[in-house]
A = this chain, B = another copy of it.
Amino acid sequence: MSAPDFFQQDHAAIEAALEKLLPAESTPPASIHRAMRYSVFAGGKRIRPILCYETAKLFDSDASAAIQVGCALEFIHTYSLIHDDLPALDNDDLRRGKATNHKVFGEAIAILAGDALLTLAFQTLANSAIEPARRVRVISEIAAAAGTVNGMVGGQVADIEAEKKPTDAAMLEYIHRSKTAALICGSIVAGALAGGAADEDVERLRRFGGQIGWAFQVVDDILDVSESSAALGKTAGKDQAQQKATYPALYGLEKSRAIANDLEAKALRELDVYGVRATRLRQLAQFLVARRN
């Protein structure tokens, strides 16, 4: 499933920007650029770039610089998937219905393609058309969101360490907020900064982003249990097979859905102050919780 219809225009703008920012397949060494492009163009929904762009548009009707920031976020998301699928980590053969990067290009190139996408993300941010003092804030926010202290890599480590062990609510919250919510929240905060938002708005959108990002991962847990591999485009039921720490495992399906809905409601309340200006961002948040894959 792609983003909802009303985001097709955002989606097209992001695809075009990704195409321009990635080195051509013919640029030497060709194998690494083929591998990077393979995973970036494997059918991602572009949720983080769209969130970034739509948040920026709350404050700036043009917001084209937020498209560049969004591409950097997509590079980071893609690198994390490539490394997460490696045999030493989740050992997954299938991602978005296609063979994973290391199955096609081998482990060495997959590791380096992930490294290269992470590096290209920061190069893209450094070269983005945002006023320099704001640009360094964007870079700092995104690096923190992707890092080890309450960030994506920290969440991945905690996730691995929690496998096959009893997990309490606090640890589960830490894992989900770090592993997934941090970068989604970072996408929204970066969009606000790129759009020129005042500090008060940046902090309000940080609260929105933290809650909607957390809800997003709770929904991911639910879908892993309730949907088929065909619907998801990746191996369903893997969390249970790997004894991952998930919301359905700790709370059951019904309570997990209630938690996701509650987080969504809290997130949406943060947008009230923006009235109809935030209609698209609101629709996007609702899509993230209602999605089926």
Question: Contacts A29-B158, A29-B161 given: A153-B119 contact, CB under 8 Å?
Answer: yes
- Whether B123 and A144, one on each chain, are in contact in the complex, defined by CB atoms closer than 8 angstroms, is yes
As a 0/1 sequence over residues 63 to 91 of chain A, the CB contacts with chain B under 8 angstroms (1 = contact) are 00000000000000001000100101100
Contacts of A118 in B (CB 8 A): 115, 118-119
Contacts of A33 in B (CB 8 A): 148
**How many copies of this protein are present in the complex?**
2
- Whether B112 and A149, one on each chain, are in contact in the complex, defined by CB atoms closer than 8 angstroms, is no
Does A273 sit at the interface, judged by CB under 8 A?
Answer: no
Contacts of A135 in B (CB 8 A): 132, 136
Does A139 sit at the interface, judged by CB under 8 A?
Answer: yes
Q: Show the binding face of A for B, using Cβ within 8 Å.
A: 23, 27-29, 31-33, 36, 79, 83, 86, 88-89, 106-109, 111-112, 114-116, 118-120, 122-123, 125-127, 132-133, 135-137, 139-140, 143-144, 146-149, 151, 153-154, 156-158, 160-161, 174
- Whether A83 and B148, one on each chain, are in contact in the complex, defined by CB atoms closer than 8 angstroms, is no
- Whether B123 and A143, one on each chain, are in contact in the complex, defined by CB atoms closer than 8 angstroms, is yes
Nearest residue (CB) in B for A106 is: B88
Question: Contacts A32-B148, A33-B148, A132-B133 given: A112-B143 contact, CB under 8 Å?
Answer: no
Question: Contacts A31-B161, A89-B111 given: A119-B133 contact, CB under 8 Å?
Answer: no
Nearest residue (CB) in B for A153 is: B116
A sample of 5 more A-B contacts (CB under 8 A), given A112-B157, A115-B115, A118-B119, is: A23-B149, A83-B112, A116-B148, A123-B147, A125-B139
Q: Nearest Cβ distance between residue A155 and chain B, in whole angstroms?
A: 9
Interface of A is mostly: helix
Q: Nearest Cβ distance between residue A64 and chain B, in whole angstroms?
A: 18
Listed by A's residue number, 6 A-B pairs whose Cβ atoms lie within 8 Å are A32-B153, A88-B108, A116-B148, A120-B147, A127-B136, A135-B136
- Whether B89 and A29, one on each chain, are in contact in the complex, defined by CB atoms closer than 8 angstroms, is no
